[in-house]
Structure 1
Amino acid sequence: MASPTEWLPAYGPAFLACLAVVIRIVRHRHRRRARNEVTIWVVSVCLASSLVLQGPAVYGAVGHLTGVPNIARLVNHGCILVAVVAGQDFLRQINRPDRARRWLVPHTIWAATAFAAMCLLFVLSRTGVNDIRFAARYGRTPGVLEYWLVYVAGLLPGLVDSARLSVWYARRSTEAVIRLGLRLIATGLVISVGYHVQKAVYFAARRFDLNYPRAIGGPLDRYLPALSALLVIVGIVLPAWRTPVAVSEYVTYLRLRPLWLAFCTVVPGIAFVPPRSLPREVLDVRDIGLRLYRRVVEIRDGRLALRAHLDPEIAAAARESGLGAGLSGQKLDAHVEAVTLAAAIRAAADGAEPPAEPVASAVPGGRDLDSDIAFLEAVAAAYRRLGSRPPVRAKPVEQQGR
C-alpha cells in the first residue's frame, strides 16, 4: 500500500482540481458565460484532466484501454499546452480585450505546431512499455529528449509570459484576495518553469551518459509538479471566493472606526449614537448592515463639516508624494484624501483658521454605495498608516449641512 508521501503528490492536486471544477459547475451552471469566463473554464478543465492523467492508476488504465503505451503522457502534455494558452488569453483580456484575439492566433499556432511535432516524435520513439516512471525507463531512448525539448519550447514562453502578467496585475489590483490569487499563480508558474528546465537537463544527462544526482532529481520530480499545480489551482479559485456579506460588512465597519472616531472628536454632532469602547463595538454584531451605512453617512457628514479646512496645497503635496511612491488609481486618491482629511481634522482640533482657498474639487469616492464604501475603506487604511490623530479634547466644530 502506498504511503501518504507517495499518494498525496500523485492524487491530491488532481482531487482539488476536480473539486474546483465541480464547485464552479454547481455555482455557475445557470450563468451566461462571457469570453473571459470560458477561458477560465478551459484552464480549469485542462488542468484537472492533466493532473488526473498523471495519477499512476489512471495512467496505467488509459494505456491498457487504448492499447497505446504512454499515450496518457502525450494527452497530459497537450492539456497543459491548451491550459497555458487559455491562461495567457485570460490575462491579456483583463487589460486589452480588443487586442486579445489578435494575440491569441499566433500563440495558438505556436502551441499547436509544438504539439504536432510532439505527436510525431512520440510515434517515432520506441517506448513500448506503459510506465508511469517514464523518465527512468526511457531517458536514454532516442527521440525522448527531442520530444521534451519541443514540449518545453512550446510551453515556456506561455508560462513566463503568464507569470509576468500575473505579477503585473497583482501590483495594480486594489483587492487583497485578487492580489494574493495572482501571486500564487505567478509562483506556481515559476516553479513549473523550474521543473521543466531541470527535466530537460535530466533527459540530456541520461542521453549523453552524464551524471545527474538522483537525490536531486527524485524529490524535484515528485514534489515540484504537485506544488506548482496546487498553487495555480488555489490562485484560480481564490478570487472567486466570496466572504459572507455579514462578515464583510462587520470587518469594514471596524476598519472605518479610526477615521470615524477622528471626525467624531472634532464634529461630535455627526454621530447618531455616541462612540463606544472598542470591546463593546467588537462584541455587538446586531444590525451590521444598517450601522455600516450610518457610519459611511456620518463620515461623509464629517467631511462636509470640515470642508473649510481642506487645504488644496496639502492635497497637491499629498498627490505628488503619492506619485513619487508609485501609487496610482484608487490607492493614490485614497492617499490624497487621507492626508487632506488628517490635516483638516488636526487644524479643526487646534482651532486653526481655515485656508484662504479651501479645496473646491469634487468629493472623491465611488459611484454607488458599494464602491463608495470600498473607497472609504481604502482612505481609512491610508489614514491609519499616517499615525496621525487629533487631540482627544478638541474644540467642537459646528456641523453644517445636516
Structure 2
Amino acid sequence: MAETMNSLLYPLCSTIALLILLYKLQSLRADRSVTQVVLAANSFFLFITFTVSTPSIWVLTSDFVGIVNFSGLLTQGSIIIMTACQQLLLLHLSYDPDIARVKAVPRLISLAVAIVAMSVLFAGAAEQGEAPNDFAIAHAQYTPAYLFVYLVAFTVNQVEIGVMGWRYSKIAPSLWLRRGLRLVSFALPFVLAYTTCRAAEIVVAQFGESGNLWEPAAQLAVATAVLVQTLGWILPDLGPHLTSAVIRLRHRRVYRVLAPLHRHITEQVPEIVIQVDLSWDLRTRLYRMVIEIRDAQWALHSWMDSRTAVVAHEEAERDGVEGEELAALVEAAQISGAIERKRHNHLPEEISETPLSAAPGDLAAELVFQQKLARAMSSPVALRAARHASASGTSPAREGPG
C-alpha cells in the first residue's frame, strides 16, 4: 500500500509543485521582494521533496551521491528548510523588516541545528539499505533519535506557523491574503496527524513492532498538509485572477439574461441605442445596456397606462409577490402594455406617474433588479395586466410621441 502511495501520490504532488515553482519564478520578474523570493524558495524545496520521494528517483539520487538513503535526509531536510521559509514569510508579513530579521535569527539557528543533528544521526542508519517506501519506519526502528529530532523541529515550527498565520489573517490588508493565511492554518491538523503517526512509529519500534499499518495515513496527511499550505501561500497571487474570472463569468450570464429585454424594448425606441464599439470590454457594454433599458422605459413612458401598474400590483399581491419581485412585475407589465399601445398608436387616457417601480442604489443592485425585470417580462401576471389595460381606455394618437 505504501509503495503504491509513493508511486502515485508523490509524482502527482511533484507535478503540482513544479507548476507552482514555474509560476513563482515568473512572478519574480516583476517583484523581487523578500516575500516573493521566500515563496519561490519554498516552492523549490517542495518540488525537491516530492520529486525525490518518488521511489525511482529516490534510488537514483542516493546512487548518484553514493550514500545509501541519502534521499531520505535530502527530503526531510528540504521539509525543514521549507518550514524556515514559511517562518521568514510570516515574520515579514507580521513585523517591520528590522524586527522581522531579529526575530528570524533564533528560529533559523534552531532549524539549522536540527538539520546538523539530523545529518550526524543519519549516519547511524545509512547502512540499513535503501528504503524508498518506508524510510521513516526504518529510522524509527534503528535510529529513533534521528526521527525524533526531525519530528520535534518540524512539529514545533509548524504549530508556530499555524498560530502565526491565523493571527495575522485577522488583520491582513487584503481579502485573498486573509483567505490564504487561514488556509495555511487549516493545514495544521494534517501536520499533527502526520507527526502523530511518526511518533507512534518510534514508540511501537521499541517493542519490536512497525508502523506499516498507518504508514499510508502518514503519507497522505503530510502530502495534504504541504499542498494545502502551498495553496494558501499562492492564493494571494491567484485570488485576484479568480475574482476577475468569476466577475467575467457573472457578467456574461447577466448579459445573456438582459440581451432579450434590451432588444425587445429598444426596438420601439431605436434612437436611444448607441453603436457598440467592439473594443469595449463586457462590463462597459453591460453598463451601457443597463442605461439603455432605463432610457427606453422613460422613452415609452407616455404610452404607459396608469391602470396597468394598478392591475399588475393587485394581481401580484394576490399571488403573494412582494419586494423587488413585485416591482419587477409592475415594470414588466408597464413595458409590455406600452409596447402594445405604441404598435397600435393608442395613447392611454391617464399616463402612469413613473415608468419605474424600483430605484436600486448602484450598478450591482441595478443588475440584480434588471435580471428580475427580464424574467418578469414572460410572467402571466405581467402579460395579463398589460392586456387588461390595453384593451380598454385608449384613444388614438394623432402623432405618436415616440
Q: Counterparts in 2 of 1:118-129, with a 5 A limit?
A: 118-125=118-125, 127-129=127-129
- Report the equivalent of 1:232: 229
1:282 to 1:112, Cα distance in 2 relative to 1, 3 A = farther
1:247 to 1:172, Cα distance in 2 relative to 1, 3 A = same
TM-score normalised by the chain length of structure 2: 0.59
Question: Are the aligned partners of 1:249 and 1:292 in contact in 2 as well (CA < 8 Å)?
Answer: no
Task: Structure 2 unaligned segments of length 5 or more: list them.
Answer: 263-277, 290-361, 366-402
Give, in angstroms, the shift of residue 54 of structure 1.
0.9
- Report the equivalent of 2:313: none
Q: Counterparts in 2 of 1:2-81, with a 5 A limit?
A: 7-25=7-25, 27-28=26-27, 30-81=29-80
Question: Are the aligned partners of 1:159 and 1:190 in contact in 2 as well (CA < 8 Å)?
Answer: no
Letter in 2 for 1:221: A
Report Cα offsets for 1:214-257 as digits up to 9, x if no partner. 43x13313311221222122222322114278646557979xx9
Structure number with greater Rg is 2
Q: Determine the C-alpha separation between the residues in 2 that align with 1:278 and 1:293.
A: 13
Secondary structure at the aligned position of 2:165 is classed as helix
Letter in 2 for 1:226: A
- Report the equivalent of 1:148: 147
Q: Determine the C-alpha separation between the residues in 1 that align with 2:261 and 2:10.
A: 45
Secondary structure at the aligned position of 2:56 is classed as helix
Q: Determine the C-alpha separation between the residues in 1 that align with 2:4 and 2:105.
A: 43
Q: Counterparts in 2 of 1:178-189, with a 5 A limit?
A: 178-189=177-188
Question: Are the aligned partners of 1:166 and 1:186 in contact in 2 as well (CA < 8 Å)?
Answer: yes
1:81 to 1:252, Cα distance in 2 relative to 1, 3 A = same
Question: Are the aligned partners of 1:163 and 1:186 in contact in 2 as well (CA < 8 Å)?
Answer: yes
Letter in 1 for 2:14: A
Question: Are the aligned partners of 2:193 and 2:218 in contact in 1 as well (CA < 8 Å)?
Answer: no
Report Cα offsets for 1:151-186 as digits up to 9, x if no partner. 122222220111112222333446554343323322
Letter in 2 for 1:171: K
- Report the equivalent of 2:94: 95
- Report the equivalent of 1:218: 215
1:89 to 1:9, Cα distance in 2 relative to 1, 3 A = same
Question: Are the aligned partners of 2:188 and 2:225 in contact in 1 as well (CA < 8 Å)?
Answer: yes
Q: Determine the C-alpha separation between the residues in 1 that align with 2:152 and 2:38.
A: 22
1:234 to 1:197, Cα distance in 2 relative to 1, 3 A = same
Q: Determine the C-alpha separation between the residues in 2 that align with 1:168 and 1:282.
A: 49
Letter in 1 for 2:73: L
Q: Determine the C-alpha separation between the residues in 2 that align with 1:283 and 1:231.
A: 45
Give, in angstroms, the shift of residue 101 of structure 1.
0.3
Secondary structure at the aligned position of 1:182 is classed as helix
Give, in angstroms, the shift of residue 3 of structure 1.
9.4
Q: Determine the C-alpha separation between the residues in 2 that align with 1:156 and 1:213.
A: 19
Report Cα offsets for 1:39-80 as digits up to 9, x if no partner. 111111111111111111111111111110111111111111
- Report the equivalent of 2:343: none
Aligned pair count?
277
Q: Determine the C-alpha separation between the residues in 2 that align with 1:283 and 1:193.
A: 56
Give, in angstroms, the shift of residue 107 of structure 1.
0.5
Q: Determine the C-alpha separation between the residues in 1 that align with 2:261 and 2:177.
A: 29
- Report the equivalent of 1:341: none
Q: Determine the C-alpha separation between the residues in 1 that align with 2:78 and 2:42.
A: 9
Which range is displaced more, 163-172 or 245-254? 245-254
Secondary structure at the aligned position of 1:68 is classed as coil
Q: Give the % identical residues.
A: 21
Q: Determine the C-alpha separation between the residues in 1 that align with 2:78 and 2:53.
A: 11
Question: Are the aligned partners of 1:188 and 1:228 in contact in 2 as well (CA < 8 Å)?
Answer: yes
Q: Determine the C-alpha separation between the residues in 2 that align with 1:252 and 1:167.
A: 31
- Report the equivalent of 2:304: none
- Report the equivalent of 1:316: none
- Report the equivalent of 1:110: 110
Q: Determine the C-alpha separation between the residues in 2 that align with 1:287 and 1:13.
A: 38
Report Cα offsets for 1:69-127 as digits up to 9, x if no partner. 11111111111111111111111211212311001111010001111111111123353
Give, in angstroms, the shift of residue 282 of structure 1.
11
Q: Determine the C-alpha separation between the residues in 2 that align with 1:218 and 1:94.
A: 36
Query: What is the RMSD of the two structures over their aligned residues, measured on CA atoms?
Result: 3.8
Report Cα offsets for 1:270-291 as digits up to 9, x if no partner. xxxxxxx993179999744447
Question: Are the aligned partners of 1:145 and 1:204 in contact in 2 as well (CA < 8 Å)?
Answer: no
Give, in angstroms, the shift of residue 145 of structure 1.
0.9
Secondary structure at the aligned position of 1:139 is classed as helix
Question: Are the aligned partners of 2:91 and 2:104 in contact in 1 as well (CA < 8 Å)?
Answer: no
Q: Determine the C-alpha separation between the residues in 1 that align with 2:124 and 2:3.
A: 36
Task: Structure 1 unaligned segments of length 5 or more: list them.
Answer: 258-276, 296-375, 381-402
Question: Are the aligned partners of 2:179 and 2:232 in contact in 1 as well (CA < 8 Å)?
Answer: yes
Letter in 1 for 2:37: V
Q: Counterparts in 2 of 1:308-387, with a 5 A limit?
A: none
